[in-house]
């Protein structure tokens, strides 16, 4: 239950979530755990993956490009995704 609570904390950093996800992937790839344990790890991994994706999407929305105007002054413009 503690592992589930840790996954849902809003304060988990992207790096922390990614590290936990990588650990789970390694454990699953080894395949040494019982099936039920692997299933619980898989579920936690999916939750971590979704959390990482959500954090990346939030950061993407905040990214701004620094450019220079005709007077060589720095200006910011919102990042727009190219198709």
**CATH number of the domain bearing residue 44:** 1.10.287
Residue 18 lies in a domain: yes
pTM over 0.85: no
Residue 58 counted as domain residue: yes
Per-residue pLDDT of 34-70, as tens digits, reads 999 999 999 999 999 999 999 998 887 777 777 777 8
**pLDDT band at residue 82 using 50, 70 and 90 as cut-offs:** low
Convert 46-62 into a string of H (helix), E (strand) and C (coil).
HHHHHHHHHHHHHHHHH
What's the pLDDT tens digit per position in 7-43?
445 547 999 999 999 999 999 999 999 999 999 999 9
**Does 32 map to a domain?**
yes
Look up tokens 């190219």; give the residue.
82
Structural domain contains residue 60: yes
Say if residue 3's pLDDT is above 50.
no
Task: Supply the range of the domain harboring residue 73.
Answer: 2-78
CA angle centred on 56, ends 79 and 7, rounded to 5°: 160
> Is 23 a member of any domain?
yes
Does 83 map to a domain?
no
Structural domains in the chain (count): 1
Best CA proximity match to 3, nearest among 52, 50, 46, 44? 44
Question: Encoding tokens for residue 79?
Answer: 């990042």
């Amino acid at each position: 239950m503690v592992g589930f609570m840790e996954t849902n904390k809003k304060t988990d950093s992207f790096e922390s979530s990614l590290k936990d996800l990588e650990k789970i992937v390694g454990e699953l790839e080894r395949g040494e755990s019982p099936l039920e344990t692997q299933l619980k790890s898989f579920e936690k991994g999916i939750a971590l993956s979704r959390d990482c994706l959500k954090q990346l999407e939030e950061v993407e929305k905040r990214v701004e490009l620094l450019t220079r105007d005709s007077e060589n002054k720095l200006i910011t413009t919102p990042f727009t995704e190219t198709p």
